[in-house]
Amino acid sequence: SEVVARLEATGRDVIELSNAQISGFAGNAIELMGKDGPLLALSQTAYDILTEEQRDRISATATLVPLAIPTLELAGGSVRCTIAGLHLSPRN
Protein backbone atom coordinates (compact mmCIF):
# COMPACT_ATOMS: atom_id res chain seq x y z
CA SER A 1 0.00 0.00 0.00
CA GLU A 2 1.16 3.53 -0.68
CA VAL A 3 -0.13 4.65 2.69
CA VAL A 4 2.80 4.73 5.09
CA ALA A 5 1.74 7.05 7.91
CA ARG A 6 -1.21 8.38 9.79
CA LEU A 7 -2.09 11.84 11.03
CA GLU A 8 -3.83 11.85 14.39
CA ALA A 9 -6.10 14.86 14.38
CA THR A 10 -6.84 16.10 17.92
CA GLY A 11 -6.56 12.61 19.36
CA ARG A 12 -9.92 11.54 18.01
CA ASP A 13 -9.40 10.43 14.44
CA VAL A 14 -6.60 8.76 12.54
CA ILE A 15 -6.17 9.90 8.96
CA GLU A 16 -4.02 7.86 6.62
CA LEU A 17 -1.49 9.76 4.53
CA SER A 18 0.07 8.78 1.23
CA ASN A 19 3.78 9.05 0.46
CA ALA A 20 3.07 12.20 -1.55
CA GLN A 21 1.22 13.75 1.37
CA ILE A 22 4.08 12.93 3.72
CA SER A 23 6.54 14.52 1.28
CA GLY A 24 4.19 17.52 1.22
CA PHE A 25 4.54 17.98 5.01
CA ALA A 26 0.99 16.79 5.82
CA GLY A 27 2.29 14.80 8.79
CA ASN A 28 4.16 17.77 10.22
CA ALA A 29 1.26 19.61 11.79
CA ILE A 30 0.84 20.49 15.46
CA GLU A 31 -2.28 20.73 17.55
CA LEU A 32 -2.59 23.82 19.71
CA MET A 33 -5.32 24.93 22.10
CA GLY A 34 -6.84 28.27 21.19
CA LYS A 35 -9.26 30.29 23.29
CA ASP A 36 -12.12 28.88 21.20
CA GLY A 37 -10.87 25.28 21.04
CA PRO A 38 -8.32 23.10 19.26
CA LEU A 39 -6.30 24.43 16.31
CA LEU A 40 -4.25 22.39 13.87
CA ALA A 41 -1.34 24.48 12.59
CA LEU A 42 0.12 23.19 9.33
CA SER A 43 1.86 24.65 6.32
CA GLN A 44 -0.07 25.85 3.30
CA THR A 45 1.75 23.12 1.35
CA ALA A 46 0.42 20.48 3.76
CA TYR A 47 -3.08 21.95 3.66
CA ASP A 48 -3.10 21.97 -0.14
CA ILE A 49 -2.01 18.32 -0.43
CA LEU A 50 -4.72 17.02 1.92
CA THR A 51 -7.90 15.90 0.22
CA GLU A 52 -11.13 17.75 0.84
CA GLU A 53 -12.41 14.74 2.79
CA GLN A 54 -9.31 14.76 5.02
CA ARG A 55 -9.65 18.50 5.66
CA ASP A 56 -13.33 18.01 6.51
CA ARG A 57 -12.51 15.25 8.99
CA ILE A 58 -9.91 17.41 10.71
CA SER A 59 -12.20 20.45 10.69
CA ALA A 60 -14.83 18.45 12.57
CA THR A 61 -12.66 18.66 15.71
CA ALA A 62 -10.16 21.48 15.11
CA THR A 63 -9.77 24.72 13.21
CA LEU A 64 -7.22 24.33 10.43
CA VAL A 65 -4.62 27.10 10.39
CA PRO A 66 -2.53 26.90 7.19
CA LEU A 67 0.64 29.00 7.27
CA ALA A 68 2.81 29.94 4.29
CA ILE A 69 6.40 28.91 5.13
CA PRO A 70 7.96 28.05 1.74
CA THR A 71 11.50 29.11 2.72
CA LEU A 72 11.49 26.87 5.82
CA GLU A 73 10.16 23.96 3.78
CA LEU A 74 13.00 24.33 1.25
CA ALA A 75 15.36 23.48 4.10
CA GLY A 76 13.14 20.60 5.27
CA GLY A 77 11.50 22.51 8.13
CA SER A 78 7.84 22.45 9.05
CA VAL A 79 5.26 24.26 11.14
CA ARG A 80 5.45 21.54 13.80
CA CYS A 81 9.22 21.82 14.09
CA THR A 82 9.08 25.61 14.23
CA ILE A 83 6.40 25.83 16.92
CA ALA A 84 7.57 22.85 18.96
CA GLY A 85 11.04 24.38 19.12
CA LEU A 86 9.64 27.34 21.02
CA HIS A 87 8.65 25.07 23.91
CA LEU A 88 11.97 23.30 24.43
CA SER A 89 13.85 23.77 27.69
CA PRO A 90 16.98 25.93 27.39
CA ARG A 91 20.22 24.04 26.84
CA ASN A 92 22.78 24.09 29.63
Going by pLDDT thresholds of 50, 70 and 90, the confidence category of residue 77 is confident
Task: Evaluate if residue 1 carries a pLDDT over 80.
Answer: no
pLDDT digits (tens, 9 = 90+) for 12-49: 778 899 999 999 999 889 888 999 999 999 999 999 99
The C-alpha atoms of residue 27 and residue 20 are separated, in whole angstroms, by: 11
- From 12, 13, 5, 85, select the one nearest 46 (Cα to Cα): 5
Prediction pTM value: 0.79
Query: Nearest 5°: phi and psi at 39?
Result: -125, 145
**Tell me: the pLDDT tens digits for 42-73?**
999 999 999 999 999 999 999 999 999 888 88
